């Protein structure tokens, strides 16, 4: 925790009457949990301020909140806060540039410094934990109610794999305890995350029967548009199953490919014991050491990524 920088962020928020929070495109649980947790803290502490979340929504994250594109006249003179985003091109609403000042809050390996104030803490396994750091640093001054606690917990829980991933430590749980102290009830959140439609369940079975395994131990599956139509699942529902491919002891890297708007191919990459972030950077992506995304563009490029991952796994196994 960088108290000096957190103080600067708090003071900057106090200077503005209008704040617009900007999540990244194709928002995940941490991104939206961070956005609405921060929004709640600002609104509860400074009730006269106007706070908006501008960007894309998704069915999965609508449980916490659904961003909408704010009106143009709101942006001028406002404070912009980018959350959970390493590079500016990934911000869903690119009109953040029209705001008077920009704060970047992120926990990914740095790729681009684009804020007037950049706060990046890669030791935090979820961006929502940075917002919780802000709250804890000024707990006597900043306020948050149970809705904010719910949003932050949702972000932390989803981005840490229910506290399984690297970066989770005693400090994580000590800070999360403060959310329970606000009256947080987590059963509803776990019930929501455990639910799966019949269509998604059938698709999961199809995925587990049709994954591909490379010679050296990369497991991958390609989500094709015809599969979505066949099983009546959304792209979000399909790609949420990426970690179902990570159960094989001899396969330390797994990838879920999908075709997005305008037939653009992207990849969700995960690993165990082997760093993949530098490889993801080579394919116009990035993220954490063991969890990344890659913007491939074409299926041919996807094959190049598979080959590169297979070689990486081969070298890794030879080194141990």
User: What pLDDT does 161 receive?
Assistant: 86
DSSP state of 95: G
* Residues forming CATH 3.90.1640.10 domain(s) in the chain: 3-193
What's residue 13's pLDDT? 98
Instruction: Quote the pLDDT of residue 288.
Output: 83
| pLDDT at residue number 195 | 87
* Residue range(s) of every CATH 3.10.310.30 domain in the chain: 198-319
pLDDT of res. 43: 98
CATH of the domain spanning 198-319: 3.10.310.30
Residue 165 is predicted with a pLDDT of 82
pLDDT attached to residue 276:
93
What is the pLDDT tens value at each position of the chain, 320 positions in all?
Answer: 899 999 999 999 999 999 999 999 889 999 999 999 999 999 999 999 999 999 999 888 999 999 999 999 999 999 999 999 988 988 999 999 999 999 999 998 888 889 999 999 999 999 999 999 999 999 989 999 999 999 999 999 999 989 988 789 999 999 999 999 999 999 999 999 998 899 999 999 999 999 999 999 999 999 999 999 999 999 989 998 999 999 999 999 999 999 987 778 999 999 998 999 999 999 988 888 888 889 899 999 999 999 999 999 999 998 88
What is the model's pLDDT at position 289?
Answer: 87
* Predicted pLDDT at 111: 80
Distance CA(215)–CA(154), nearest Å, equals 37
Contacts of 102 (CB under 8 A, 6+ apart): 79, 80, 81, 82, 96, 114, 115, 116, 117
Strands (E), the chain: 18-22, 50-53, 79-83, 101-106, 117-120, 212-213, 218-223, 253-259, 265-271, 286-287, 291-297
pLDDT at position 158 is 93
- Annotation: CATH topology of 3-193: inorganic pyrophosphatase (n-terminal core) (3.90.1640)
CA distance 192 to 209: 26
Specify the pLDDT at position 69.
93
């Amino acid at each position: 925790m960088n108290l000096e920088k957190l103080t600067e962020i708090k003071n900057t928020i106090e200077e503005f009457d209008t704040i617009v929070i900007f999540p990244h495109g194709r928002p995940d649980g941490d991104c939206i949990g961070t956005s609405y947790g921060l929004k709640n803290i600002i609104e509860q502490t400074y009730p006269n301020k106007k706070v908006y979340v501008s960007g894309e929504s998704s069915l999965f994250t609508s449980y916490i909140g659904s961003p909408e594109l704010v009106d143009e006249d709101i942006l001028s003179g406002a404070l912009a806060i980018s959350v959970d985003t390493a590079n500016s091109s990934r911000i869903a609403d690119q009109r953040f540039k029209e705001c008077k000042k920009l704060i970047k809050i992120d926990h990914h390996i740095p790729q681009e410094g684009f804020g007037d104030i950049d706060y990046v803490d890669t030791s935090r396994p979820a961006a929502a934990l940075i917002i919780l750091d802000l709250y804890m640093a000024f707990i006597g001054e900043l306020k948050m109610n149970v809705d904010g606690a719910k949003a932050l917990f949702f972000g932390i829980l989803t981005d840490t794999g229910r506290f399984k991933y690297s970066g989770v430590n005693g400090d994580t749980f000590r800070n999360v305890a403060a959310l329970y102290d606000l009256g947080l009830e987590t059963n509803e959140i776990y019930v929501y995350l455990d639910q799966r439609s019949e269509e998604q369940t059938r698709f999961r079975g199809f995925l587990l029967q049709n994954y591909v395994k490379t010679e050296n131990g990369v497991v991958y599956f390609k989500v094709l548009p015809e599969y979505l139509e066949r099983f009546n699942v959304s792209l979000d529902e399909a790609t949420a199953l990426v970690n179902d491919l990570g159960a094989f002891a001899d396969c330390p890297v797994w990838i879920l490919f999908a075709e997005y708007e305008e037939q653009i191919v992207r990849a969700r990459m995960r690993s165990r014991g082997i760093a993949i972030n530098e490889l993801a950077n080579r394919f116009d992506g990035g993220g954490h050491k063991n969890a990344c995304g890659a913007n491939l563009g074409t299926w041919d490029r996807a094959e190049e990524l598979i080959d590169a991952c297979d070689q990486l796994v081969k070298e890794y196994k030879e080194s141990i």
